[in-house]
Amino acid sequence: MAADRVDHFIAISQEVRRRIGKHYGREATIIYPPVDTKRFTPAKRVDDYYLMVGRLVPYRRVDVLIEAFNRLGRPLYIAGSGRDRGRLEAMAGPNVQFLGYVGDNDLPDLMARCRAFLFPGEEDFGIAPLQAMAAGRPVIAYAAGGALETVVPGTGALFAQQSAEAIIEAIKSFDTESTDSDFIRAHAEQFDTSVFVRKLAEFVRQALAANGKRVLSKERV
């Protein structure tokens, strides 16, 4: 009933727009959420670790990421806290390091120096991968949700299944040293806060103008 009273829907991704159409029977305009890309800049060096940032809860599938890195033996840093941390630490090998909560001042440098940012869960959009891209680093993500729209050729790689095998194959086949940090950052800037503000303001102006015409038409009748 509440959805029926809505004048316009804005979706944050194609997946959300699809759900609005399926459940509400309504069209939606996509305006991607704002990413403060100015906080992040590429580093002069890249260190030997992969990175995952986010709340440690089951749907983020950090468990399959840890399983993959246990088998790979490569360094993995996990930044974030959550109710799943104890279980995840118990299954992690010595090459997996839990950093806990990382503050806003330290996060940009941590992202800028990783080999690649890992995103094994499914999100409606996903801010963290674009933050990593703003820092010039590629993203290796599960091919679902918002990642299908943000991780494009030249900015990273997608894996089709949330399994250790799929993650291992994606990491082994993706050459992190051949990426262009300037290209990756330029891609992230398309989602900057300034772009969000401009597109939202334009959407509101157009919606108000269209609504004004409808009101005027009714008054004439």
Fold of the 39-184 domain: Rossmann fold (3.40.50)
Angular region, 218: left φ>0, alpha ψ -120 to 50, beta rest: alpha
* CA pair distance 155, 203, nearest whole angstrom: 29
> Is 119 in a helix, a strand, or coil?
strand
- The model carries a pTM of 0.88
User: Encoding tokens for residue 195?
Assistant: 């772009």
Q: Mind listing the pLDDT tens digit for each residue in 148-157? A: 999 999 999 9
- The CATH 3.40.50.2000 domain(s) of the chain lie at 39-184
| Burial grade of 129 (CB within 10 A; 0-12, 13-18, 19 or more) | buried
Q: How far, in Å, are 28, 49, 68, 91, 173 from residue 169 at the CA level? A: 36, 17, 9, 21, 6
Q: Mind listing the pLDDT tens digit for each residue in 36-77? A: 999 999 999 999 999 999 999 999 999 999 999 999 999 999
**Mean local confidence (pLDDT), 3-11:** 89
